[in-house]
A = this chain, B = another copy of it.
Amino acid sequence: MNKFVYDIPTKVYFGKDQIGNLGKELSKFGKRVLLTYGGGSIKKIGLYDAVVEQIKEAGLELFELSGIEPNPRVDSVREGAQICKDQNIDVLLAVGGGSTIDATKFIAAAACVDHDAWDFLDTSKWAPIEKALPIVSILTLSATGSEMDTAAVISNLETKEKIGRMDRNLLPKVSFLDPTNTFTVSPYQTACGSADIISHIMEVYFNQENDLYMLDCFMEGMLKTVIKYAPVAMVEPDNYEARANLMWASSWAINGFITAGKRHAWSCHPMEHELSAFYDITHGLGLAILTPRWMEYCLDESRVDKYVQFAVNVFGVDPSGEKMEIAKKGIELLSKFFFETLGLKSNFTEIGIKPEDFSAMAKQACRGGVIEGFKPLAQADIEKIYQMCL
């Protein structure tokens, strides 16, 4: 068990009818607010108007950057940073899902430097993030956990790269989590978001390091929560209880709490980032396809106990059988959940990802060296896992 520092000071307003606190919170950071958002869905649900009203009531000055895309691109980051510089922005207000919040994080950092925004993500440069403008977020999609974590992932279509980075300066100061803001999320996006949450937990749960049992219990609880409520939210999109559980799970799956000192790398995320970088597919879908294959690939006698724990505690598999069988049953049930219950496409062929790119994607996925995760993965291992996804 490793030592760790727990330090997650993000303040969260959870539940409906909390937006009345927005003006007060923004005002703590200054007068000039840059509102960032995506494709306009926040206008359809009335959230845009509500936000603008709060900002005006609080006597703040509003600036806007719209059109932040899924798998947000460095171009949007550059554009936002320029607005911050030109308009002397004091605080950023990201309204959207993980993509909008991620882009906003690097806008906040890039606003404070003279160099190009990509220098923060170019692995050959890795420019230091010494400060960032304060960020407030209003979440509209339960998935990435960006609302309460230090990470952001930015894509560069020119270089075919999708790079993530964590830094304490990127942590939102305040986040508004109102489940009703996710009522219009489509069944498909709900499924992808839920697969993303599950992956965040699995990446930590399946780990070689000796753990705090308490945190394993929490992870199993979060997995059961997503498995219970994702299907409900798909069928009853305005089920508050379902949306609320998915929303709070999305934050706690990845805010650092469950990681607690574990140093092992994540596995499926780097493999998936290359899918998105090469094909611009939905992150959660890629993770859903990869995760059961990765589990299957890593399964052996030395790792089987964790699979058994997962199968028994998350899916209620009878613990009395043979270990390997219980482990395989757990993988099977997770696959069924992704591809039957959530109805996600189950393989690369169906979504147009082609074997001729496997080598290049696998090479990129481990460009920092072998992925030292649950099982170490070199380029050849990753190619094999990609093959299993066909």
Q: Does A260 contact B (CB under 8 A)?
A: yes
A235 CB-CB contact with B under 8 Å:
no
Which listed residue (B7, B18, B245) contacts A212, Cβ 8 A?
A: B245
Contacts of A15 in B (CB 8 A): 1-4, 261
Assembled-state Cα–Cα distance A181/B56 (Å): 52
Asked if A217 lies at the interface with its beta carbon under 8 angstroms from chain B, I say yes
Residue numbers in B under 8 Å from A16 (CB-CB)? 3
Q: Name the one of B2, B11, B213 contacting A7, with C-beta atoms under 8 angstroms.
A: B11
For A7, list chain B residues within 8 Å (CB). Answer: 11-12
Query: Roughly how many angstroms separate A228 CA and B252 CA in the complex, as a whole number?
Result: 24
Q: Which residues of B contact A228 (CB under 8 A)?
A: 213
Chain A: how many interface residues by the 8 Å CB criterion?
A: 40
> Is the CB–CB distance between B12 and A6 below 8 Å?
yes
A14 pairs with B3, CB closer than 8 A: yes
Q: Is A212 touching B248 in the complex (CB atoms < 8 A)?
A: yes
Please, which residues of chain B bring their CB within 8 A of the CB of A6? 11-12, 14
Q: Contact: B241 with A225, CB < 8 Å?
A: no
Assembly CA distance A224 to B210 (angstroms): 18
Within 8 A of B (CB), among A160-215: 210, 212-215
Distance in Å: Cβ of A134 to nearest Cβ of chain B:
15
**Chain B neighbourhood of A218, CB < 8 A:** 217-218, 221
Q: Any chain B CB within 8 A of the CB of A13?
A: yes
- Which interface residue of A4, A5, A13 has the most chain B CB atoms within 10 A? A5
Q: Is A229 an interface residue (CB 8 A)?
A: yes
Are B229 and A213 in contact, CB atoms less than 8 angstroms apart?
yes
Q: Chain B residues near A4: list those with CB within 8 A.
A: 14-15
Known: A222-B217, A248-B212. A14 touches B18 (CB 8 A): no
